[in-house]
Amino acid sequence: MRPPAVPLDLTDPAVVADPYAAYARTRMQAPVQWHEGLGLWLAFTHAESNAVLRDRRLGRLWRDREPAERFGSFNLIHRNAILEMEPPDHTRLRRLVSAAFARGHVERLRPWVQELARDLVDGLVERSGGTEPVDVLAGMAEELPVAVIAELLGVPHADRPLLRPWSNAIVKMYEYGRTTEIENSAERAAVEFVAYLRELAADRRNHLGDDLVSHLVSVRDAEGHRLTEDELVTTCILLLNAGHEATVNVSGNGLLALLEHPDQLARLREEPGLLPTAVEELMRFDSPLQLFERTATADVEIGGVTVREGQKVAALLGSANRDPAVFAEPDRLDVGRTDNPHISFGAGVHFCIGAPLARVELQASFGALLDRTSRLEPGGTPVRRPEFVIRGLSRLPVVLAG
């Protein structure tokens, strides 16, 4: 017999706007609780969320969306995704992708990313002139990570505006309470994205370059394994969807947090060496991904409850990152926080493969905002996206001066 349903409505606009108070109230009741509406267990604490992410009996087991003929391309890009696999398939695919990444792509891009961030901030400063509000999301946060992923993959400049609309449409499928229109839009985007990347991969097979797609096309492991075309296409889509969504939302959520805590913004200006630590704190303070599901392949005891084989359990990353058992004064933003084992990048075998690149992008973005401005203030009311799972803003007006 299951306990009463957890009193947490993840579609409530008040919870979407600020889930952390609701997490704190619910976390005190029990570390893991059943959510009747979602039909799964929710892990609220850091220890239990970490266990959900690391326990090998809890897997990412992809099941095609039904009807299969309606979601053919959406299913294809998830069926072959490293994020939806478990060992041994996950081990083989991650080894191949890691080998391609190991060819120095992150460090190759670092100076380029820093220059791009400076240029974007300079553009914001010019448009604002110290008086007019400008949207930092549209003007920088959304542009930089897409440009970086496109540069990483070797996507031609003329095609780069296609990428973010495709990604935006696809990731809306991860939310609860989807409409038919959202689902149809996601499948159309998946069809177009898959077709585009098949053409790009075919071109790279004939004209190898120094980009990641070229290396993914040619990489082999010690056993001679290669990526299938579907795996290559899916890996590129995952890098864009997961990579740019996380970076955009940390940029927006993090800058809003700094604007709402001007003492921490001032501290970061005075101590720019804190930037790497501050980026980790911004990821902890307002996590870009709030929930990550796993499925039990056997009965598993987590936090005093038994998750039965076949049941789902989700780590509430935002709640775990505010757990007072792990973080001193968890609701306080502290850009100098050094004891910070946040799990915003996940944990275990599914730890984010793009984490080093995301850190480069975020340090470049915040570094440029601090270095290229003398004034950085709120310029109006921020607008939050209406989704819960992927937490972010759709608009963040600011006033800047050089």
Contact 358, 381 (CB under 8 A): no
Per the prediction, the chain carries an average pLDDT of: 90
Buried b (16+ CB within 10 A) or exposed e, 74-97: bbbbbebbbbbbbeeebebbbebb
For 310, the enclosing helix (H) or strand (E) is none
Query: Can you tell me the mean pLDDT for 105-132?
Result: 93
pLDDT recorded at residue 222: 61
Model confidence at 221: pLDDT above 70: no
What pLDDT is stored for residue 7 in this prediction? 65
| Token pair belonging to 301 | 């005891």
Q: Is the pLDDT of residue 378 over 80?
A: yes
Structure tokens at 165: 């609309």
Give dist(CA 31, CA 34) in Å, integer. 10
Strand 40-43 relative to strand 312-316, pairing: parallel
Which range has the worst mean pLDDT, 165-169, 323-327, 332-336? 165-169
Question: What pLDDT is stored for residue 6 in this prediction?
Answer: 63
Q: What was the pLDDT predicted at 306?
A: 96
Q: What is the dihedral of CA 22, 28, 29, 33, to 10 degrees?
A: 70
pLDDT at 242: 75
Amino acid found at 121: V
Domain definitions of the chain by residue range: 66-285+343-401
Between CA 124 and CA 135 the distance in angstroms is 8
Q: What angle do CA 70, 192, 292 make, to 5 degrees?
A: 65
Angle CA 215–217–223, to nearest 5? 90
The arithmetic mean of pLDDT across residues 303-309, rounded, is: 95
The pLDDT tens digits of the residues spanning 238-262 come to 888 777 778 899 999 999 999 999 9
User: In angstroms, rounded to a whole number, what is the distance separating the alpha carbons of residues 171 and 1?
Assistant: 34
Burial class (CB in 10 A: 0-12, 13-18, 19+), 293: middle
Span 342-354, pLDDT tens digits? 999 999 888 888 8
pLDDT of residue 80: 86
Mean pLDDT of 102-119: 88
Write down the pLDDT at residue 3.
53
Least confident of 44-53, 76-85, 288-297: 76-85
221 vs 302, more confident: 302
Q: Position 147: which residue type?
A: A
Q: pLDDT, tens digit, for every residue of 380-389?
A: 999 999 888 8
Q: Cα 276 to the chain's mean position, in Å? A: 18
Residue 17, pLDDT above cutoff 50: yes
Q: Which among 197, 212, 217, 192 is positioned nearest to 149, based on CA atoms?
A: 212
Q: Give the residue from 291, 286, 285, 294 showing the smallest Cα distance to 54.
A: 294
Output the pLDDT for position 1. Answer: 44
Residue 2: what pLDDT? 52
pLDDT for residue 319 is more than 60: yes
May I ask the CATH architecture of the domain 66-285+343-401?
Orthogonal Bundle (1.10)
Q: Is the pLDDT of residue 282 over 70?
A: yes
In which element (H, E) is residue 291 found?
Answer: strand 291-296
Greater confidence, 219 or 397? Answer: 397
pTM: 0.89
Query: For 131-163, how does the pLDDT look when each residue is reduced to its tens digit (9 = 90+)?
Result: 999 999 999 988 898 898 889 888 999 998 899
Q: What is the CA radius of gyration of the chain?
A: 21
Burial of 228 (0-12, 13-18, 19+ CB in 10 A): exposed
Tokens of 276: 């790497």
Lowest pLDDT segment from 37-46, 62-71, 326-335 = 62-71
Share of the chain above pLDDT 70, in %: 97
Q: What is the DSSP letter of 3?
A: P
- Segment of 11-15, 75-79, 145-149, 394-398 carrying the highest mean pLDDT: 394-398
DSSP 140: I
